[in-house]
Amino acid sequence: MNAKQRLLHRQQTISSRLCVGLDTELSKLPSSLQGNSHPIVSFNGSIIESTSMYASAYKINTAFYEQYGESGWVDMKKTIGMIPNEVFTIADAKRADIGNTSSAYSRAIFDDLNCDAITVNPYMGYDSLAPFLEREDRMVIVLALTSNPGSTDFQRLISNGKPLYQHVIETVLSWKASASIGFVIGATHPDELAMIRTYAPDEVLLIPGIGAQGGDIDAIMQANANGPVMINVSRAIQYAGDAADFGEKASEAAKYYKDQIGYYS
Amino acid sequence: MNAKQRLLHRQQTISSRLCVGLDTELSKLPSSLQGNSHPIVSFNGSIIESTSMYASAYKINTAFYEQYGESGWVDMKKTIGMIPNEVFTIADAKRADIGNTSSAYSRAIFDDLNCDAITVNPYMGYDSLAPFLEREDRMVIVLALTSNPGSTDFQRLISNGKPLYQHVIETVLSWKASASIGFVIGATHPDELAMIRTYAPDEVLLIPGIGAQGGDIDAIMQANANGPVMINVSRAIQYAGDAADFGEKASEAAKYYKDQIGYYS
């Protein structure tokens, strides 16, 4: 199975399109873990145990681990190692650089961390993504229209009658790729999502921005038109509880979001 | 002194606009270091010792260290620690993410690694760069027109009569920033550089693409019109020699490029 097939197989097995974000910060951990010698790994282990029955994927944002230097990198690798094999893993790294440098990033994410997918930034064009696109058993998820306010600064600039993010999607789809392809579309843009599904009906979309960022699940699921999708929720699941029962609260939140998202019809 | 002043002070002290890239890969190390227990740190230490008299700055590309996981992160931090305080340091990380995530990256690069500057990717817009821009003692170097072939895919798309990279430069310069600002312009685009200097005459430019990538120094220095600039050379200095005298060869190469680049007139 290629990466897209593995993802869809996992989604089918548990009837879930939920992706759980693991954006773990020391300052947000429940006080019951504050004395722990490896609090991030302990916390993530509990979150994974409490939510994996509802998670089609986990998304690990590399920034939250890199901020702690080499020990953060160790925690990130241990976290990924605790995720059950059948659950899809995404390194939300937003990388891209010139060719020989992106090759190094692809080794970092796909080999050292062993993730199924990576998020990448399209600004530098084809050769900056080629080392990722060559990996036939992995998924490359390209930023298109992101969930944040700054997505209006450049992503919506119109060139030849089309916004930049549409150029990105259409151009990336025209490239030769062994990897599976996906795109990031923020949950804060349901109207644009509906348009995107007219020219990219079968592409995997990773949709962040539900929960803390305020995206509307119903509007998004309607606009998505049954295309393959992962709906990411990070803080609203990870930090659903701040007492000793944080795992239970995370589990309830994950089930809530899985049900709200619903399944393909 | 703010970061721009520190850079220009260093340049003035040694009459050099050379930036030496430290993109170290195990497979490219001289055989004399192969039995060393920390070959990357040993190699970088020798390169720094051999070139710092000619280097206004060092640029560390994070990818080359991340590919070795947590031990690579340790090597990167040790490398930065070996650079003399008066030499400017750039983490060529090409990061950017939504606000709370970019805050974590800014802690990773500015606090954990303690670099003077970071390269960032503008695709996600203002709030993705704000956590970097808030740091008054640092420099934020924004990708504009990169040196690689893929720079034609999106960076040159015309919107309202201007290429995307010009929108990036003008928009970034309109933002509130405590940090010093710089832009990446590849050495492979001298004509565009001359144009950029008409609307950004005093901005710091980081210019990679000399040496292995084939940019023409004379054409670039002429187009630059005496604006503040760092000319980066990585592989052509680091790997100038592959025998036991690699440090000496690197030193000769650094002096050669410093002289070729020349100084402000």
CA distance A223 to chain B (A): 22
Q: What integer pLDDT is reported at residue B34 of this predicted model?
A: 81
- At A166, the pLDDT band (50, 70, 90 cuts) reads very high
ipTM of the complex: 0.97
- At A212, the pLDDT band (50, 70, 90 cuts) reads confident
Please state, in angstroms and rounded to a whole number, the distance separating the CA atoms of residues B60 and A257.
41
As a residue count, chain A comes to: 265
Which residues lie closer than 8 Å to B134 by C-beta, 6 or more apart?
A: B177, B178, B179
Query: Beta strand pairing status for A180-185 and A229-233?
Result: unpaired
Cα dihedral A34, A39, A40, A42 sign: negative
Phi-psi region of B191 (alpha: psi -120 to 50; beta: other; left: phi over 0): alpha
Please state, in angstroms and rounded to a whole number, the distance separating the CA atoms of residues B28 and B34.
10
Among candidates B72, B96, B213 on the partner chain, residue whose Cβ is nearest the Cβ of A94: B96
Amino acid letter for position A58? Y
* A84 pLDDT more than 80: yes
Instruction: Tell me if B97 and A63 make a contact (CB, 8 A cut-off).
Output: yes
Superfamily (CATH) of domain B3-261: Aldolase class I (3.20.20.70)
Interface probe with A: pick from B59, B98, B107, most Cβ of A within 10 Å: B98
* B5 pLDDT more than 80: yes
Q: In this predicted model, what pLDDT tens digit does every residue of A44-76 receive, in sequence order?
A: 999 999 999 999 999 999 999 999 999 999 999
Please state, in angstroms and rounded to a whole number, the distance separating the CA atoms of residues A77 and A74.
5
Q: In this predicted model, what pLDDT tens digit does every residue of A179-210 receive, in sequence order?
A: 999 999 999 999 999 999 999 999 999 999 98
Q: Which two tokens stand for residue B179?
A: 């940090």
Q: What integer pLDDT is reported at residue B212 of this predicted model?
A: 72
Q: What integer pLDDT is reported at residue B215 of this predicted model?
A: 85
Instruction: Tell me if A143 and B124 make a contact (CB, 8 A cut-off).
Output: yes
pLDDT averaged over every residue in chain A? 96
Instruction: Tell me if B127 and A149 make a contact (CB, 8 A cut-off).
Output: yes
Q: What integer pLDDT is reported at residue B180 of this predicted model?
A: 98
Instruction: Tell me if B104 and A25 make a contact (CB, 8 A cut-off).
Output: yes
Domain ranges of chain A: 3-261
Amino acid letter for position B265? S
From the number of C-beta atoms within 10 Å of its C-beta (0-12, 13-18, 19+), residue A157 rates as buried
Q: What integer pLDDT is reported at residue A132 of this predicted model?
A: 98
* Mean pLDDT (whole number) for B215-225: 94
Residue B28 falls in the annotated catalytic set: no
CA nearest A96 in B: which residue?
A: B94
- What are the angstrom distances between the C-alpha of B261 and each of B19, B48, B258, B265? 11, 19, 5, 12
Q: In this predicted model, what pLDDT tens digit does every residue of B55-100 receive, in sequence order?
A: 999 999 999 999 999 999 999 999 999 999 999 999 999 999 998 9
- What are the angstrom distances between the C-alpha of B220 and each of A51, B87, B148, B162, B190? 55, 23, 16, 22, 5
Higher pLDDT, B218 or A265: B218
- At A79, the pLDDT band (50, 70, 90 cuts) reads very high
CA nearest A125 in B: which residue?
A: B150
Amino acid letter for position A207? I
Please check whether residue A41 is in contact with residue A79, taking contact to mean a CB–CB distance below 8 angstroms.
yes
With pLDDT > 70 as the criterion, what percentage of chain A qualifies?
100
* Mean pLDDT (whole number) for A17-32: 95
Residues of chain A found within 8 Å of residue B23, distances taken between Cβ atoms: 100-101
With pLDDT > 90 as the criterion, what percentage of chain A qualifies?
95
Whether the full predicted model's pTM is greater than 0.95, yes or no, is yes
As a residue count, chain B comes to: 265
* A211 pLDDT more than 90: no
* B133 pLDDT more than 90: yes
H/E element holding A142? strand A139-145
Q: In this predicted model, what pLDDT tens digit does every residue of A88-117 receive, in sequence order?
A: 999 999 999 998 999 999 999 999 999 999
Q: Which two tokens stand for residue B29?
A: 């190390």
